[in-house]
Structure 1
């Protein structure tokens, strides 16, 4: 099979995959979450097997332990978090009005410092920004309520996700062997090399970046609650859980925290500075300790490409698309880098039919 036919086959495969995802997007959520859970837990099951556990028993022990932990967290924390989130959404217009009133109160000082025109421009900018934040919060809340799962959907998700994860974990080794046997023998070593790169990138996404996300959420929620910030638990969880989008989690959490802290603690500058320092300090820790240790260079995705993938897959497939965007972007990055390597080793790039030997440098 020549290169042209191989490229056409792979393009057709990916077009079929995208079309299938779009057609079945309404029922994919438990399968996507179950597959991610199986991929995440497979190393633990393998470890139990090395300790002479039967594969079925190892799968059951690991999965039941994780489900029990998740259920405990849900029962203990989710009602409190939901109460804080609802309270934050309801109170947000009040915080915006309070900040706008503070700006108006400082208007004489701003006039004296900046001049009337610039002071008026600053006041208009702050008012517009606060209005946009409140409007954005309202739109997000209405979208969540409009697209939220019904009780039947929640029950179905809670039942089907562990079942999907269980059977995937149970048959993981046989599925890997089956995929290995289906690979064309001549290209098998090269394809296995690509799959190893994809596995490394996926591990960085699901295990590494997922770990960073959880640590961010725990730190922000705990630290903001300890300093006494109103709705600190909700703001911290929002900041942490949105941190998979580059700069968005930090930006949203920082803006909400500083706005609430200014209204709540004014004129105590020390408390406002403390909230500011928490975000700046943790950004340094995240960028210089957490990401290098937990993620490293395994993902290697440009933030612009990642944000494009999130917006594109979110628009096409909704919430399921947001879950799939980062892993698919990681896979796409591996395939693009492979394609670039092949192109740079080809006669089309080197200008020679001998792998660059004796090529015309001006070609």
Structure 2
């Protein structure tokens, strides 16, 4: 790579960061569409290999994505909203149970100020926030005039996502080809090799891991629903989302389900049933889902996932969280490449007698 090419790449990276920083308020639908197109492109390519045209295969995949999104809007989101509302209504009851039953038992063994366990302020704050949210939703039609611009922006973004996703998905292969043709000739082979490594890591998380998260959310939610646990769907969703960090979904979902089971049933069989559901889910993840959907691809370390999500959210908000994992994957691949070059360089082998050993 020449000096001019290095300056060019640095300039492109800087310009990209500046654009994301200043245009982040309008980039959300485009970034969501980009992620959806990236995830759906392998399915469209597979349909093409089965004999479909690109337009037909993209249409089939797009309709599947559209129906899944419509199902979430019409069925899942109202159900989740209802469960969250029920949780908020039960918070005072749970807080009273903790104050009257659990706290006295704890104070027998630890000498601390009982005020440390006073959760009433937190409960009241959560209830107030929920009432404000419910009021906003209930009065939305009344406030259309005063917040018409914001609502119009939301509606535009809502319709932009499927439109942009369709066109990105239809022209995905062409765009990738054009990007490859723009590469300087002396860098093309190296960039293609690095791109394949990045795609492996991205595939392990944005394709494989997201499907594992969805499957675990369904497994945990369905299992808890079968044993009659309240908020089964909400706990399944929480466990599935937390599963983006390996094992985090199991611990978060299991702890939440155990607490709910204690309040709802107050019997040992319920604890055993919850343990069985999460044990089955963990076994399916370890022996079926992860080997099948993720395979032996090298993914991101859990600490890297946590840091990337927090750093992306801190720097660029919601857009930063969307691009955090792809950027972390690319940076990790570049660091591996840099490490390989360093191990083969004179800097690493300086002062060694004889020839440098091959890797």
TM range (shorter): 0.7 to 0.9
Give the Cα–Cα distance (whole angstroms) in 2 for the partners of residues 185 and 136 of structure 1.
Answer: 60
Q: 1:56 to 1:194 in 2, by over 3 A?
A: same
Give the Cα–Cα distance (whole angstroms) in 1 for the partners of residues 20 and 72 of structure 2.
Answer: 31
Give the Cα–Cα distance (whole angstroms) in 2 for the partners of residues 280 and 132 of structure 1.
Answer: 35
1:99 match: 98
CA deviation map 1:274-309 (0-9, x unaligned)? 213323442343234322332234243221121111
**TM-superposed deviation, 1:247:** 4.5
Give the Cα–Cα distance (whole angstroms) in 2 for the partners of residues 200 and 336 of structure 1.
Answer: 15
1:271 match: 270
2:354 match: 358
CA deviation map 1:33-88 (0-9, x unaligned)? 11111112212322333344332233223212321232134212321121112222
The reply to whether residue 168 of structure 1 matches residue 168 of structure 2 is yes
**TM-superposed deviation, 1:350:** 1.9
Give the Cα–Cα distance (whole angstroms) in 1 for the partners of residues 219 and 180 of structure 2.
Answer: 42
Equivalent residues of 2:198, 2:330 under 8 A apart: yes
Q: Secondary structure at the match of 2:74?
A: helix
Equivalent residues of 2:205, 2:299 under 8 A apart: no
Give the Cα–Cα distance (whole angstroms) in 1 for the partners of residues 255 and 129 of structure 2.
Answer: 16
1:193 match: 193
2:218 match: 218
Runs of 5+ consecutive residues of structure 2 not aligned to the other structure: 138-146
**TM-superposed deviation, 1:141:** 6.5
1:287 match: 286
Equivalent residues of 2:229, 2:260 under 8 A apart: yes
Q: 1:24 to 1:94 in 2, by over 3 A?
A: farther
Q: Secondary structure at the match of 1:318?
A: helix
1:262 match: 262
**TM-superposed deviation, 1:181:** 0.9
TM-score, length of structure 1 as denominator length: 0.82
**TM-superposed deviation, 1:172:** 1.6
The reply to whether residue 329 of structure 1 matches residue 325 of structure 2 is no
Give the Cα–Cα distance (whole angstroms) in 1 for the partners of residues 297 and 133 of structure 2.
Answer: 33
Q: Secondary structure at the match of 2:228?
A: coil
Give the Cα–Cα distance (whole angstroms) in 1 for the partners of residues 189 and 286 of structure 2.
Answer: 36
Q: Secondary structure at the match of 2:309?
A: helix
Q: Secondary structure at the match of 2:88?
A: helix
2:240 match: 240
1:228 match: 228
Equivalent residues of 1:205, 1:330 under 8 A apart: no
Give the Cα–Cα distance (whole angstroms) in 1 for the partners of residues 184 and 135 of structure 2.
Answer: 47
Give the Cα–Cα distance (whole angstroms) in 2 for the partners of residues 104 and 201 of structure 1.
Answer: 47
Equivalent residues of 1:99, 1:259 under 8 A apart: no
Q: 1:16 to 1:223 in 2, by over 3 A?
A: same
Give the Cα–Cα distance (whole angstroms) in 1 for the partners of residues 194 and 136 of structure 2.
Answer: 37
Give the Cα–Cα distance (whole angstroms) in 2 for the partners of residues 285 and 95 of structure 1.
Answer: 33
Q: 1:285 to 1:68 in 2, by over 3 A?
A: closer
**TM-superposed deviation, 1:157:** 2.9
Equivalent residues of 1:204, 1:299 under 8 A apart: yes
Q: 1:256 to 1:349 in 2, by over 3 A?
A: same
Q: 1:300 to 1:144 in 2, by over 3 A?
A: farther
Give the Cα–Cα distance (whole angstroms) in 1 for the partners of residues 128 and 249 of structure 2.
Answer: 18
The reply to whether residue 22 of structure 1 matches residue 21 of structure 2 is yes
2:140 match: none
Equivalent residues of 1:30, 1:160 under 8 A apart: yes
Q: 1:214 to 1:139 in 2, by over 3 A?
A: farther
Q: Secondary structure at the match of 1:39?
A: helix
**TM-superposed deviation, 1:240:** 1.2
The reply to whether residue 40 of structure 1 matches residue 39 of structure 2 is yes
2:303 match: 304
Equivalent residues of 1:300, 1:333 under 8 A apart: no
TM-score, length of structure 2 as denominator length: 0.83
Pairs within 5 Å for 1:45-64: 45-64=44-63
Runs of 5+ consecutive residues of structure 1 not aligned to the other structure: none
**TM-superposed deviation, 1:270:** 1.4
> Alignment RMSD, CA only?
3.4
